[in-house]
Amino acid sequence: MIQRNLILHLLSVILLFVMISCSGNQQNAKQETKAVKETSEPKVEINNEAKALLSALNEMGDYVNSRNFPSLIKASTVYDELDGNILVIDLRSEDLYAEGHIKNAVNVDFSDLPSYFANDIDPAKYDKIILTCYAGQMSSYSTSLLRLAGYNNVFAMKWGMSSWNKYFAKDFWLDVVSSEFQEKLDTLGNEAGDIGDFPKMNSGKTTGSEILKTRIDSLFAQGMRAAIIHADEVFEDPSTYYVINYDRKDKYESGHIPGAVRYKPGATLGIVSEMQTIPTDKTVVIYCNTGQNSAFATAYLRLFGYSAKSLLYGNNSFMYDRMKQEQDSLSWIPFTGAEIHDYPYVKN
């Protein structure tokens, strides 16, 4: 009886060993299969022009991944430094500039900025060159392009002339905030697109510096209207666009434009694998709280040939009341009278 029990025990041990061995082999086989699958997935190489442009920007200091991005400056700082070694450039129309502008500011058309910097001034002699406009979005877009071109002392005045004096805010920031679409927001998370190539720029140039200059000149020549879009256009059919929410995760999760994909500020632009998920066959709409950070990002995407547009006035243009209600809990940035100063201006 003892001998029989011993034999049964030995058989049980052998059977258990065999089962463990088989299970281990199956697990190894699964791991090997997974490894083969992962390594066999094709890696999408980006085109040569995009590589050259990325390399040139990286050599110049990788602005979009630096602490200086975005380069915004408050109106209060500009006012305090008016007697210093600064140049203020006003991008508004001649008529509005004549109605009132910052003392000693020069009026330059958006499309003339590259020529103005190259031929009319010595940018390096100024401590700061400050661009201002109607609401801060044109100046943000322009500043981004000029910084990418290598002018490292350029800043955009936050909120534009709307923050300088109420006289300028009444027809812009104070007149554009809206809550029209705040009931149409979505809270579902959306995945980024598939990995693909960067857009084909077809600049005809070979070196990164040549491509950079050609692209920047082209974007200024296209005008600002090509780089912006209104909320009512987007909400008419959000699926028409690839919408990028360029903000914090908690803000995205509290409510975003339907279909929007969140791209983390400071961890998207300039990172090849992240930018490869942005489609080249759809209009890309990028938005933030105010339209100013998104204007900086839009300039970078358009530099690489993406059909990108910044949502004018950002969240302020479609969920303003909700932003004010949740301002303390989510740190929204609604434009209010607190942003407006009573600084003097001159007429010309």
Domain boundaries, the chain: 48-176, 182-330
The phi and psi torsions of 279 (rounded to 5 degrees) equal: -70, 150
Please say whether the beta carbons of 150 and 60 come within 8 A: yes
Please say whether the beta carbons of 160 and 135 come within 8 A: yes
| Overall fold of domain 48-176 | Oxidized Rhodanese; domain 1 (3.40.250)
Q: In the predicted model, what is the mean pLDDT of the chain?
A: 90
Determine the Cα angle at 91 with ends 128 and 145, to 5°. 60
Nearest CA to 89 out of 115, 63, 61 is that of 115
pLDDT at 240: 97
Banded model confidence at residue 32, pLDDT cuts 50, 70, 90: very low
Q: Specify the 3-state DSSP secondary structure of 193.
A: coil
The pTM for the full model equals: 0.87
pLDDT beyond 80 at 321: yes
| Equal CATH topology for 48-176 and 182-330 | yes
Please say whether the beta carbons of 113 and 220 come within 8 A: yes
Of 4-8, 203-207, 280-284, minimum mean pLDDT range: 4-8
**pLDDT one-digit tens code per residue, 37-67:** 333 344 899 999 999 999 999 999 999 999 9
**CATH annotation of 182-330:** 3.40.250.10
Burial class (CB in 10 A: 0-12, 13-18, 19+), 132: buried
**pLDDT one-digit tens code per residue, 69-122:** 999 999 999 999 999 999 999 999 999 999 999 999 999 999 999 999 999 999
Q: Give the Cα separation of 138 and 229 in Å (integer).
A: 12
Nearest CA to 315 out of 252, 224, 242 is that of 252
**DSSP per-residue string spanning 166-177:** HHHHTTTHHHH-
State CA 93 to chain mean position distance. 26
pLDDT at 35: 36
The residues near 9 (Cβ < 8 Å, ≥ 6 apart) are none
**pLDDT one-digit tens code per residue, 158-193:** 999 999 999 999 999 999 999 999 999 999 999 999
Banded model confidence at residue 348, pLDDT cuts 50, 70, 90: confident
- Give the DSSP H/E element, type plus range, for residue 91: none
DSSP conformation class of 106: E
